[in-house]
C-alpha cells in the first residue's frame, strides 16, 4: 500500500498542480511518526504508512488559506471527515485541495476501535479497497457508562478530570471543528476565559469547548489522543451526538462537504417542546 | 548506608509526621508528585509532570487589595516541604529555576520563601525511559544537583547519602531504619537516547536565528502549550487579577510562550506572530538564550516534551538537525 | 530590604520586600496632553515619592480591579513621579477615566536608564515622535537639571497635528527659556494657524542637518519613524553607538522572570528598555 500512496504523491507532483503534500514520516522512535510536508518528488521517499500514523493531516491546511498551488493531503477516513468538516464550515475550499484517500487499516490508537468510516468520504484518488462500514455498537459505550453514574459520582468524576487538566489546549488545536480564527479562550482581555489554572477555569474551558464543537464533532478522537493528561474528552462531544441522535435521528458529522451543523439549522419538523 | 526496600514507607511516614512530604505516587493511571499520605510510592518513570509546582504553583495568590480602604496584603505562606523521589533531571531543573527566580538582580519573594523551606531527597535513576536524554545534557542520573539527600536504587533497597546539613537532619530521623554496614554502590547508567551536543552549540544556534531551518522544524507543531507545561524548566507566568466589587486578588499562574496572547501588545502588534517564531523562541531559550545568560542549558533531558508532544516533535531531533546546518 | 539592580548610588527605594507586590498610591494630578494622551502624577498615600527613578526607567502601574502594565516614567519631582499614557487598550481606557485623588498601585523602578554619564560633556539631540517624547522627556528634564554637565541641547519633536503634540507647556514655554536649548517642532499635515514646519520627523531631521561631532542622539517614537530617522542620522555621519533608543515589549513581571519580553537572551525589562542602535544590531530581529 505504501508504494501505491507514494506513486499517487509522485503523480500529483508530476501534474504540477500540487504545491506540497501532507503525510507522515518516521521519527527516531519506532512507535512514533510525525507529520511530513513533502515539497517535491524527492521528499516522497520519507513517507511512511504504518499503524503509528496517528496524527491528523487535515488541519494543517488551515494554515495556508490562500495557497499558490493545491495542498495535497493524504487522508485516512477520519482525516477526510476533518476536511469535509472544514469545507462545510467554510474554512477550506475544495478546489484548493488535492486529496489522496487511503482506506485505513486502523491505527495504534484506542479510538480506532469505534471507527465507522475507515474509507475516506471525499478524495480525488482512492487507494485500497473500500470496506463495508458500520457504526460500532461501542460508539456510545463511554457515554452510557458516565450517564449511569449518580449525579455525585459524575460530578466527582469530572472534577478529577479537570483537576488533572493543564489547559495546554492541545485538544482544541488538533480539533478540525475548532477552526475559529481566534479562539474565545485566547481572548484573555475580554475575560471570557480566566487564566488561572484551577478546576473551575478548566471546567469552563472544557464545557465551552464541548458545546462549541459538539454538533460538528467528526469523532476522530484526536482530542483524546493528544491529551497529555488522558482526559476522556470525546465522551463529552459524543454525549451531545447521542442526544442529537436521540432527538433528531441518526447523525454523523463530516460526511459531506455541504453540511450545516445540526444545532445551527432549523427544520420545521424539529422537536420544539421547549417553546 | 542502605535503606532496605521494605522500610521505605516507614521512612517516608517518619518524615510526613513532621513536614509536608511530596512524593511520586500513582494517581489516575499516571505518576504524579503529590502529598504523601502513606502507602507505596511509585519510582517507575519520570512522572507525568515535573515537581516544579512545589516551587512555582500553577496558580498562586500574590496579594489582595481593597480599593476603598487603600490596603494591600501580601500572601506568601510557605510550609517546610520535603520533596522525595526526584530524579536528577528534575533536580537539575530546580537549580535552573533558582538562577531565574533568585538571581538576576531581583529575588522573587514567592519562589524564595518556598525554596528556603524545601529539602530535596533525590532518587538515582536506573531505568531511563526511551525519551530520556539527561546524560547528553551533562546530567548524571545517579547524582542530582540540588540534592540534600541522595538516594540510589540498589539490590534490596536504596543507598542513602546526606549531602547537606538539611539532608543530615533528615537522615538522622532514619537512624533505626538504615543498614550502616552496607557497601552497596549504584551502577552507572546511560540513556539510550544520546545526542552529541557540541561545545558552544548555543553560539551556533544564536547565529541561526534567520535560518530557513525554522520553517521546517516548526511546521508540524500544533501550537499548543503541552511541551511547556510538562517541562520542568519552563517558568513563564502571567499575572492577573480576580476582582469582586471593591476588592480583589492578584495571582500569578503558568503561562506559555506558545500562546498567541503571550507577547501581543496592547496596540495589537505581536513580535512573535506565529508558531514558527514562538517555537523558535522556545528552542532557543532552552538551548541558547539561557546558556548565554547563565552558562547552562535550560533543557535537562527529561524527555517529557518528546513523550507528550501531540505531533511527536522531538527537541533532540531538532538539535541534531541544527548541528548539521553549515 | 531592596536588592534591585539600580546602579545609581542615589537611588532611594520604597518598594516592598517582594518586588512583585506594588504599593498603593494616589493620582494627585491628571493633565490632558492631547485627545488621547494623559499625564498622571502619582504620589504615595502619605505624600511621598513612590521611588526615585533614573531617566528612562519604567514603572509597573496597575489600576486595581483592571490590570497592570509597564509605562515609562516621564518626569519626577520632590514628592511625585509622572507617566504619560496613551489610550490603546482596556487598562489605558480605564486609566483615562480616572479622576484626581483616586488610588493607583505602582511598583518599580525597572530597567536600565539613559546613559546620563556617557553623555556628560556632549551635545545631545533628543528626537521624539508622538507619545515617544514621554521617555525622552525624563532625560531632557534631567539634562536641564544638570545643565552644566551637558553641551548644547536640541529637542526635535513631531506629531500628527498640533493638537497631538504632548507636553505643550514644556515645548512652548519652559524649554525655549533654557539656555543653549533649541526646540524644533513639526507636524505631519498643514493646518490653519500653524506657522511652523510641516514634515514627517525624518524629513524634518534631514532639513536640520545636525553635525555629529560631539553629539549623542536619543531617539524614541513609532518603529517606522525610528527606522527612517536612523537612516537620516547615518547619512549625516552619526554612528550607531551614539544613537540611543528605547524598546517596548509586553511585560508582566518587570524583573526578568515571567519570560515574555525577551529579544534573544536580553530581557527588555531588565537589560533595557534603553539600547544603543549598535546594541540592537546584535539582537535578533524580533521586536
Condensed to tens digits (0 to 9), the pLDDT of residues B140-152 reads 999 999 999 999 9
The angle at the Cα of C268, spanning C267 to C270, to the nearest 5 degrees, equals: 65
Question: Using 50, 70 and 90 to split pLDDT, how confident is the model at B31?
Answer: very high
Cβ of B49 and A166 within 8 Å?
A: yes
Cβ of B314 and A34 within 8 Å?
A: yes
- Whole-Å CA distances, B97 to B102, B111, B234, B293, B299: 8, 9, 8, 13, 11
For residue range B6-25, list pLDDT tens digits in order. Answer: 999 999 999 999 999 999 99
CB of A28 within 8 A of CB of B192? no
Cβ of A174 and B224 within 8 Å?
A: yes
Question: Using 50, 70 and 90 to split pLDDT, how confident is the model at C16?
Answer: low
CA–CA dist B313, B308 (Å, integer): 9
pLDDT of residue C11: 46
- Number of CB pairs, chain B paired with chain C, less than 8 A apart: 143
Q: How many other CB atoms are there within 10 angstroms of residue B200's CB atom? A: 10
- Which positions in chain B touch C270 (Cβ < 8 Å)? 104-105
Give the pairing of strands C103-110 and C123-129: unpaired
Cβ of B206 and C16 within 8 Å?
A: no
CB of B296 within 8 A of CB of B96? yes
- Closest residue of A to B222, CA-based? A173
The alpha-carbon gap from A197 to the nearest alpha carbon of chain B, in Å, equals 6
| B65, B209, B266 ranked by CB distance to C284: nearest | B209
- Closest residue of C to B209, CA-based? C284
Chains that touch C (3 or more CB pairs under 8 A): B
The alpha-carbon gap from B312 to the nearest alpha carbon of chain C, in Å, equals 25
CA–CA dist A217, A85 (Å, integer): 8
| B49, B225, B317 ranked by CB distance to A27: nearest | B317
- Closest residue of B to C283, CA-based? B206
pTM flag (> 0.80): yes
Give the pairing of strands C23-34 and C215-220: unpaired
Q: Which residue, C201, C246, C249, is CA-closest to C225?
A: C201
- Which positions in chain B touch C250 (Cβ < 8 Å)? 262-266
For residue range A58-81, list pLDDT tens digits in order. Answer: 999 999 999 999 999 999 999 999
For residue range A216-256, list pLDDT tens digits in order. Answer: 999 999 999 999 999 999 999 999 999 999 988 899 999 99
The alpha-carbon gap from B84 to the nearest alpha carbon of chain C, in Å, equals 27
The alpha-carbon gap from A241 to the nearest alpha carbon of chain B, in Å, equals 25
Question: What's chain A's average pLDDT?
Answer: 94
Question: Which residue carries 552558562 as its cell?
Answer: B295
- Which positions in chain B touch A182 (Cβ < 8 Å)? 260
For residue range C145-194, list pLDDT tens digits in order. Answer: 999 999 999 999 999 999 999 999 999 999 999 999 999 999 999 999 99
Q: Where are the alpha helices (DSSP H) in C97-165?
A: 133-145
CA–CA dist C255, B107 (Å, integer): 9
Question: Using 50, 70 and 90 to split pLDDT, how confident is the model at B72?
Answer: confident
The angle at the Cα of B194, spanning B188 to B195, to the nearest 5 degrees, equals: 135
Q: Which three cell numbers stand for residue B8?
A: 521505605
pLDDT of residue B268: 83
Q: In what order do the strands lie in the sheet with C123-129?
A: C197-198, C181-187, C153-159, C123-129, C215-220, C243-246, C274-276
- Closest residue of B to A23, CA-based? B220
- Beta-carbon contacts of residue A165 (< 8 Å; ≥ 6 apart): A202, A205, A206, A229, A231
Return the SS3 of A43: helix
Query: pLDDT 10s digit of each residue in chain A, 275 long?
Result: 899 999 999 999 999 999 999 999 999 999 999 999 999 999 999 999 999 999 999 999 999 999 999 999 999 999 999 999 999 999 999 999 999 999 999 999 999 999 999 999 999 999 999 988 899 999 999 999 999 999 999 999 999 999 999 999 999 999 999 999 899 999 877 889 999 999 999 999 999 999 999 999 999 999 999 999 999 999 999 999 999 999 888 999 999 999 888 888 888 888 777 66
Q: Where are the alpha helices (DSSP H) in A71-185?
A: 77-88, 141-147, 151-164, 170-174
Q: Which residue, C244, C268, C260, C271, is CA-closest to C5?
A: C271
pLDDT of residue C14: 42
CA–CA dist C58, C71 (Å, integer): 6
CB of B121 within 8 A of CB of B83? yes
Asked whether the predicted pLDDT for residue C92 surpasses 60, the reply is yes
Cβ of B222 and A182 within 8 Å?
A: no
- Closest residue of B to A169, CA-based? B224
| B224, B260, B311 ranked by CB distance to A34: nearest | B311
CA–CA dist A19, A23 (Å, integer): 13
Cβ of B265 and C16 within 8 Å?
A: no
CB of C141 within 8 A of CB of C77? no
- Which positions in chain B touch A168 (Cβ < 8 Å)? 224-226, 228-229, 256
The angle at the Cα of A85, spanning A79 to A89, to the nearest 5 degrees, equals: 150
Asked whether the predicted pLDDT for residue C35 surpasses 70, the reply is yes
Cβ of A198 and B58 within 8 Å?
A: yes
- Which positions in chain B touch C256 (Cβ < 8 Å)? 100, 104-106
- Regarding an ipTM greater than 0.85, the answer is yes
Polymer length in residues for chain A: 275
CA–CA dist B62, C142 (Å, integer): 35
Q: Which residue, B311, B207, B76, is CA-closest to A170?
A: B311
Left if phi > 0, otherwise alpha if psi is -120 to 50, otherwise beta: which for C123? beta
- Closest residue of B to A161, CA-based? B28
- Beta-carbon contacts of residue C220 (< 8 Å; ≥ 6 apart): C127, C128, C129, C132, C133, C134, C135, C136, C226, C245, C246
Percentage with pLDDT > 90 across chain C: 87
CA–CA dist C270, C261 (Å, integer): 9
Architecture in CATH for domain C123-246? 3-Layer(aba) Sandwich (3.40)
CA–CA dist C262, C287 (Å, integer): 9
- CATH tag, C23-110: 2.40.30.10
pLDDT of residue A253: 94
Q: Which helix (H) or strand (E) holds A127?
A: strand A125-127
For residue A76, the number of C-alpha atoms closer than 13 Å in the C-beta half-sphere is 24
Cβ of C20 and B76 within 8 Å?
A: no
- Whole-Å CA distances, A75 to A11, A30, C91: 16, 22, 47
pLDDT of residue C212: 95
CA–CA dist A33, A28 (Å, integer): 9
With 0-12 / 13-18 / 19 or more C-beta atoms within 10 angstroms meaning exposed / middle / buried, residue C23 is middle
The alpha-carbon gap from C263 to the nearest alpha carbon of chain B, in Å, equals 9
Cβ of B255 and C259 within 8 Å?
A: yes
- Which positions in chain B touch A194 (Cβ < 8 Å)? 240, 242
Return the SS3 of A97: strand
Instruction: Name the residue ranges covered by the structural domains of chain C.
Output: 23-110, 123-246
The alpha-carbon gap from C14 to the nearest alpha carbon of chain B, in Å, equals 15
CB environment A181-203: b (16+ within 10 A), e (fewer): eebebbebeeeebbbbbbbebbb
Q: What DSSP state is assigned to residue C174?
A: I
Amino acid at each position: 500500500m505504501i508504494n501505491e500512496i507514494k506513486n499517487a504523491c509522485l503523480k500529483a507532483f508530476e501534474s504540477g498542480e500540487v504545491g506540497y503534500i501532507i503525510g507522515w514520516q518516521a521519527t527516531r522512535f519506532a512507535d512514533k511518526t510525525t507529520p511530513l510536508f513533502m515539497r517535491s518528488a524527492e521528499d516522497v521517499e520519507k513517507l511512511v504508512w504504518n499503524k503509528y500514523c496517528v496524527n491528523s493531516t487535515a488541519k494543517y491546511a488551515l494554515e495556508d488559506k490562500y495557497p499558490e498551488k493545491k495542498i495535497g493531503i493524504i487522508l485516512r477516513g477520519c482525516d477526510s471527515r476533518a476536511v469535509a468538516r472544514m469545507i462545510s464550515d467554510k474554512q477550506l475550499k475544495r478546489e484548493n485541495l488535492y486529496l489522496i484517500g487511503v482506506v485505513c487499516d486502523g491505527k495504534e490508537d484506542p479510538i480506532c476501535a469505534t471507527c465507522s468510516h475507515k474509507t475516506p468520504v471525499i478524495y480525488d484518488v482512492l487507494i485500497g479497497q473500500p470496506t463495508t462500514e458500520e457504526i460500532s455498537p461501542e460508539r456510545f459505550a463511554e457515554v452510557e457508562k458516565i450517564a449511569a453514574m449518580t449525579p455525585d459520582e459524575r460530578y466527582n468524576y469530572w472534577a478529577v478530570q479537570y483537576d488533572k487538566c493543564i489547559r495546554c489546549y492541545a485538544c482544541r488545536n488538533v480539533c478540525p471543528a475548532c477552526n475559529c480564527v481566534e479562539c474565545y479562550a485566547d481572548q484573555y482581555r475580554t475575560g471570557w476565559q480566566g487564566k488561572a489554572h484551577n478546576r473551575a477555569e478548566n471546567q469552563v474551558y472544557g464545557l465551552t469547548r464541548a458545546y462549541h464543537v459538539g454538533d460538528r464533532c467528526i469523532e476522530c478522537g484526536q482530542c483524546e489522543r493528544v491529551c497529555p493528561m488522558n482526559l476522556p474528552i470525546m465522551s463529552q462531544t459524543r454525549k451531545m451526538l447521542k442526544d442529537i441522535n436521540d432527538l433528531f435521528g441518526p447523525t454523523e458529522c463530516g460526511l459531506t462537504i455541504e453540511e450545516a451543523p445540526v444545532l445551527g439549522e432549523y427544520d420545521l419538523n424539529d422537536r420544539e417542546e421547549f417553546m | 548506608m542502605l535503606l532496605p526496600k521494605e522500610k521505605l514507607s516507614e521512612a517516608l511516614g517518619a518524615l510526613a509526621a513532621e513536614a509536608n512530604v511530596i512524593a511520586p505516587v500513582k494517581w489516575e493511571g499516571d505518576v504524579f508528585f503529590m502529598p504523601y499520605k502513606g502507602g507505596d510510592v511509585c519510582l517507575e518513570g519520570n512522572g507525568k509532570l515535573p515537581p516544579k509546582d512545589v516551587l512555582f504553583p500553577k496558580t498562586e495568590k500574590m496579594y489582595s487589595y481593597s480599593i476603598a480602604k487603600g490596603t494591600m496584603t501580601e500572601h506568601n505562606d510557605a510550609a517546610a516541604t520535603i520533596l522525595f523521589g526526584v530524579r536528577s533531571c528534575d533536580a537539575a531543573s530546580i537549580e535552573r529555576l533558582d538562577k531565574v527566580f533568585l538571581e538576576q538582580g531581583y529575588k522573587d519573594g514567592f519562589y524564595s520563601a518556598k525554596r528556603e523551606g524545601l529539602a530535596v531527597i533525590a532518587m538515582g535513576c536506573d531505568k531511563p525511559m526511551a525519551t530520556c536524554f539527561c546524560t547528553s545534557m551533562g546530567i548524571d542520573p545517579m547524582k542530582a544537583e540540588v540534592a540534600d539527600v541522595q538516594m540510589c536504587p540498589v539490590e534490596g533497597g536504596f543507598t542513602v547519602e546526606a549531602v547537606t546539613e538539611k539532608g543530615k537532619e533528615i537522615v538522622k530521623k532514619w537512624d533505626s531504619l538504615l543498614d550502616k554496614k552496607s557497601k552497596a554502590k549504584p551502577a552507572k547508567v546511560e540513556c539510550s537516547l544520546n545526542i552529541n551536543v557540541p561545545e558552544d552549540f548555543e553560539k551556533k544556534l544564536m547565529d541561526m536565528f534567520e535560518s530557513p531551518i525554522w520553517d521546517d522544524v516548526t511546521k508540524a507543531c500544533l501550537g499548543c502549550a503541552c511541551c511547556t507545561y510538562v517541562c520542568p524548566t519552563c517558568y513563564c507566568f502571567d499575572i492577573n487579577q480576580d476582582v469582586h466589587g471593591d476588592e480583589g486578588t492578584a495571582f500569578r499562574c503558568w503561562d506559555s510562550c506558545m500562546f498567541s496572547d503571550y507577547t501581543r501588545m496592547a496596540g495589537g502588534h505581536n513580535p512573535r506572530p506565529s508558531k514558527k517564531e514562538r517555537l523558535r523562541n522556545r528552542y532557543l531559550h532552552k538551548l541558547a538564550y539561557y546558556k548565554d545568560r547563565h552558562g547552562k542549558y535550560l533543557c535537562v533531558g527529561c524527555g517529557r516534551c518528546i513523550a507528550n508532544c501531540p505531533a511527536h516533535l522531538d527537541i533532540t531531533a531538532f538539535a541534531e538537525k541544527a548541528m548539521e546546518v553549515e | 530590604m531592596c536588592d534591585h539592580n539600580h546602579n545609581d548610588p542615589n537611588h532611594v527605594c520604597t518598594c516592598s520586600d517582594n518586588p512583585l507586590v506594588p504599593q498603593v498610591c494616589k493620582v494627585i494630578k491628571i493633565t490632558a496632553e492631547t485627545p488621547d494622551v494623559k499625564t498622571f502624577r502619582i504620589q504615595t498615600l502619605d505624600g511621598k515619592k513612590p521611588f526615585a527613578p533614573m531617566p528612562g526607567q519604567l514603572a509597573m502601574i496597575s489600576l486595581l480591579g483592571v490590570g497592570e502594565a509597564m509605562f515609562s516614567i516621564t518626569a519626577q519631582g520632590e514628592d511625585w513621579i509622572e507617566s504619560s499614557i496613551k489610550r490603546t487598550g482596556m487598562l489605558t481606557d480605564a486609566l483615562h477615566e480616572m479622576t484626581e485623588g483616586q488610588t493607583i498601585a505602582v511598583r518599580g523602578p525597572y530597567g536600565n536608564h539613559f546613559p546620563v554619564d556617557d553623555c556628560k560633556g556632549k551635545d545631545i539631540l533628543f528626537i521624539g515622535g508622538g507619545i515617544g517624547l514621554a521617555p525622552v522627556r525624563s532625560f531632557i528634564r534631567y539634562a536641564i537639571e544638570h545643565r552644566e554637565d551637558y553641551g548644547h541641547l536640541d529637542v526635535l519633536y513631531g506629531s500628527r497635528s498640533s493638537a497631538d503634540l504632548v507636553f505643550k507647556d514644556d515645548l512652548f514655554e519652559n524649554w525655549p527659556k533654557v539656555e543653549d536649548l533649541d526646540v524644533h517642532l513639526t507636524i505631519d499635515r498643514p493646518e490653519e494657524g500653524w506657522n511652523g514646519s510641516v514634515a514627517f520627523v525624518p524629513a524634518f531631521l534631514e532639513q536640520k542637518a545636525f553635525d555629529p561631532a560631539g553629539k549623542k542622539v536619543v531617539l524614541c517614537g513609532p518603529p517606522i519613524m525610528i527606522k527612517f530617522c536612523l537612516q537620516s542620522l547615518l547619512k549625516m555621519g552619526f554612528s550607531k553607538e551614539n544613537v540611543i533608543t528605547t524598546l517596548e515589549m509586553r511585560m508582566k513581571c518587570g524583573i526578568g522572570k515571567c519570560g515574555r519580553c525577551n529579544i534573544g537572551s536580553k530581557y527588555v525589562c531588565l537589560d533595557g528598555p534603553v539600547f544603543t542602535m549598535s546594541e540592537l544590531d546584535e539582537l535578533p530581529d524580533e521586536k
